[in-house]
Structure 1
Amino acid sequence: MSVIQETTPSTSALVLFSGGQDSATCLAWALERFERVETVGFDYGQRHLVEMQARQAVRDGMARALPAWAGRLGEDHVIDLTGYGRIAESALTADRKIEMDARGLPTTFVPGRNLIFLVAAAALADRRGLEVLVGGMCETDYSGYPDCRHETMEVMARALSLGLDKPVVIDTPLMWLTKAETWALAHRIGGDGLVELIVEDSHTCYRGDRAHRHAWGYGCGECPACELRAAGYEEWVSAR
């Protein structure tokens, strides 16, 4: 799904890349489509450094999993947003219990995280000459985060287009996919090799658990992120 349609085909993209299942799938999706692909990650004071480590492991493995497009993968960028993370405290940046808050939002919600990420990514893309922003936001299977919604992406693309005085395209290929369909998309793009890379090296667990290995990857198996990933994997495997 693209927000703000292009008038001419784009050849380059900047992938918002966390090293998780969704962003790994989006990176593969972008490599399949664009001639030049760069990645950007954000250090916003995450409690678990394993997320930043997973980014590099997945990037390194992507060239092996998708050798036909390895030459398309360009530079990686990491933006320091630790000051923002201290302001927008959550269970991902502080020692807090994972539960629902008074608004009905999970305490893993980092207020405005995707909005901040998109502004920073758009500024970087502008300076790097990259035409499309690619993100793993998803409205079908998500943890209740309002900044993952399609409507939010539409408004952000419009605001960025006005603020930068040029069309800003945000591609969200997972927006209407279930987690099972996300596994299926990865398999269609890169077969068993890409799926194995995502299982082995990507990281989703909110608790930063890399001690427990499951069929779907590493994680505690109990937090909402693990439960969603595991259920999607089981549904995909059962449907194959």
Structure 2
Amino acid sequence: MTSVAVEDTGALVLFSGGQDSSVCLAWALARYGRVETVGFDYGQRHLVEMQARQTVLAGFCARFPDWAPRLGEDHVLDLKGFGAVAQSALTADRAIEMTERGLPSTFVPGRNLAFFIYAAALADRRGLTALVGGMCETDFSGYPDCRRDTLDAMQGALNLGMERAFVIETPLMRLTKAQTWALAAGLGGEALVDLILKESHTCYRGERGERHAWGYGCEDCPACDLRARGWEEWTAAGRPRLVA
């Protein structure tokens, strides 16, 4: 496992149970003395991720004894009301396609912004200063609330509105999906890669029937496409390790 200086301050990881948030959890555990997690039930069709996140958390405790003492409380927040208002192909029975706005139909308007508002309110009460999210604008589905400019503005608004000094950390922001696999290997070795392959969930359709080389999924939604392509690029390059 990667060994780095541990920050005295605590971190709250926005944890969905998917590949990206699992790597972010490892990244936070390598850096912070106290790490808590938060998940959001916003009425997503791929609700299997809410089950996967518990399995992945248990896997972190079992496989990484050096990190386990730092992993604190897990929180699940009910945002179904928000999901009902901001309907998309993730929350309603709609085709996964590009819309007339040039955005994927899986885009949930303002989802990440809502997540960070709730996360910041929770972090305020828990005494945590870092908010860690798996947003990325390199290999991504085109969501505007994944961009670093958006999150910089969000960080400023949170700190102004809550009189705090939160830092929104996005360790995957400039990485490709291949580099995300490499970062997982660099942080937790084959044990973390194996945990992500077997237990994490990223597929928009919630498909867990067939195990592929890169994990479980439907193979044709944007999330599966990115994950599979990243795995192929990483393995073709010899499975390098990226040191955080």
Q: TM-score range by the shorter chain?
A: over 0.9
Asked if structure 1 preserves the Cα contact closer than 8 Å seen for 2:45 and 2:204, the reply is no
User: What pairs with 1:1-240 in structure 2 (closer than 5 Å)?
Assistant: 10-240=8-238
Q: Give the deviation of 1:10 after TM superposition.
A: 4.8
Give the aligned residue type for 2:16.
S
Report the secondary structure of 2:218's partner residue.
coil
Report the secondary structure of 1:15's partner residue.
strand
Deviation digits for residues 141-176 of structure 1 (CA, Å, limit 9, x no counterpart) = 110000000100100000000001121110000000
Deviation digits for residues 169-216 of structure 1 (CA, Å, limit 9, x no counterpart) = 100000000000000000001100100000000001111100011011
Give the aligned residue type for 1:46.
Q
TM-score, structure 2 normalization: 0.94
Give the aligned residue type for 1:78.
V
Q: What CA distance in whole angstroms lies between the structure 2 residues aligned with 1:224 and 1:83?
A: 25
Tell me the percent identity: 69
Q: What CA distance in whole angstroms lies between the structure 1 residues aligned with 2:11 and 2:79?
A: 22
Asked if structure 1 preserves the Cα contact closer than 8 Å seen for 2:129 and 2:165, the reply is no
Deviation digits for residues 77-100 of structure 1 (CA, Å, limit 9, x no counterpart) = 000000000000010101000000
Q: What CA distance in whole angstroms lies between the structure 1 residues aligned with 2:30 and 2:148?
A: 23
The RMSD of aligned alpha carbons is 0.8
How many residues are paired up? 232
Asked if structure 2 preserves the Cα contact closer than 8 Å seen for 1:88 and 1:110, the reply is yes
- Which stretch of the first structure deviates more once superposed, 58-67 or 34-43? 58-67
TM-score, structure 1 normalization: 0.95
Give the aligned residue type for 1:129.
G
Report the secondary structure of 1:180's partner residue.
helix
